[in-house]
């Protein structure tokens, strides 16, 4: 049996649902069943994440999770919605950029073209505290860890089906960014998260190709019941992939 804990922010919910579904079915991953328990870092016991202004003293409740007996690995889903904050609603004037990852992607000819570096710097500001959390968790434990890439942006029709989250009126909806821009900003964030995971010695789990629709966004069957999160089916796929990845890593350490 693979014993693990999942720790993170809002995307941890879909991962937890997927894991519990696999557990209920007694699904075997890499020849082993799973036993995972999940913890939402915005729950009261884990807030604030740090007990000092310098963000070095990790909350003892989080430290307690990392010291759970019998763990094989730790699954992390830290942050991951910053790209939506930046890209879901357009500013005035509208902005766009040429993506290093996808230079062929559409660029809005009517928008102000900004350097990709400006997108990175803005995301870095939004991500700063969560990156400190990631660093502190890694420093607090020698257990194998895997950081799950946040799901790609949801399709436009799905976002607009839940208008109160980002758009209060139909007029607001006219300010929604293009699919191309939302995907490009997501790619910048995931590249930053991946670089951090490599630097910290945390395994990185990217979204598999079958989770994308033909538009490059999260496929409809994996979308959750809101404008920015995935569902249990997505969670099952990602947890199974994480378990396979970590089983191989654990075997390599034996």
Read out DSSP for 43-103?
SGGG-SSBSSTTS-SB-HHHHHHHT-TT--EEEEE----HHHHHHSB--SS-EE---SS-T
State how far the alpha carbon of 41 is from the alpha carbons of 16, 70, 126, 194, 232, in Å.
Answer: 13, 21, 17, 20, 19
Mean pLDDT, rounded, for 92-120:
94
Name the pLDDT band for 254 (thresholds 50, 70, 90): low
Instruction: List own/partner pairs for 12-15 with CB under 8 A and 24 or more apart.
Output: 12/38, 12/39, 12/40, 12/41, 12/77, 13/40, 13/229, 14/151, 14/224, 14/229, 14/230, 14/231, 14/232, 14/234, 14/235, 14/238, 15/75, 15/77, 15/148, 15/235, 15/238, 15/239
How many percent of the chain have pLDDT more than 90? 84
- Residues pairing with 3 in the sheet: 35
Taking only the tens place, the pLDDT of each residue in 161-214 is 886 677 665 546 667 899 999 999 999 999 999 999 999 999 999 999 999 999
As its CATH architecture, domain 2-253 has 3-Layer(aba) Sandwich (3.40)
42-82 pLDDT per residue, tens: 999 999 999 888 888 899 999 999 999 999 999 999 999 99
**12-52, pLDDT tens digit by residue?**
999 999 999 999 999 999 899 999 999 999 999 999 999 88
Handedness of CA 167, 173, 179, 185 (dihedral sign): negative
Any idea of the CA torsion for 52, 13, 2, 205, to the nearest 10 degrees? -80
Domain ranges of the chain: 2-253
Of 80, 237, 70, 226, residue with least CA distance to 163: 226
Residue range 88-103: average pLDDT?
91
Instruction: Report residue 10: phi and psi, to 5°.
Output: -60, -30
Q: Residue 166's pLDDT is what?
A: 72
Identify the pLDDT of residue 241: 97
């Amino acid at each position: 049996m693979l014993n693990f804990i999942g720790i993170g922010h809002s995307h941890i919910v879909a991962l937890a649902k997927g894991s519990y579904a696999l557990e209920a079915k007694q699904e075997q991953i890499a020849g082993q069943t799973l036993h995972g328990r999940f913890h939402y870092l915005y729950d009261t016991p884990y807030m604030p994440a740090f007990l000092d202004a310098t963000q070095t003293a990790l909350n003892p409740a989080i430290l307690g999770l990392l010291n759970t007996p019998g763990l094989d690995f730790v699954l992390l889903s830290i942050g991951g919605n910053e790209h939506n904050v930046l890209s879901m609603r357009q500013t005035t004037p509208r902005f766009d950029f040429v993506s290093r990852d996808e230079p062929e992607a559409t660029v809005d000819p009517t928008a102000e073209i900004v350097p990709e570096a400006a997108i990175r710097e803005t995301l870095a500001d939004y991500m700063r505290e969560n990156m400190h959390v990631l660093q502190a968790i890694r420093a607090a434990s020698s257990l194998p860890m895997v950081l799950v890439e946040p799901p790609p942006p949801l399709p436009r029709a799905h976002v607009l089906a839940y208008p109160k989250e980002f758009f209060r009126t139909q007029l607001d909806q006219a300010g929604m960014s293009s699919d191309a821009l939302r995907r490009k900003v997501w790619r910048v964030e995931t590249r930053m998260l991946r670089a951090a995971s490599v630097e910290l010695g945390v395994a990185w789990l990217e979204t598999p190709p079958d989770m994308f629709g033909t538009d490059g966004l999260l496929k409809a069957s994996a979308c959750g019941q809101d404008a920015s999160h995935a569902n249990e089916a997505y969670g099952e796929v990602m947890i199974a992939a994480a378990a396979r990845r970590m089983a191989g890593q654990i075997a390599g350490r034996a």
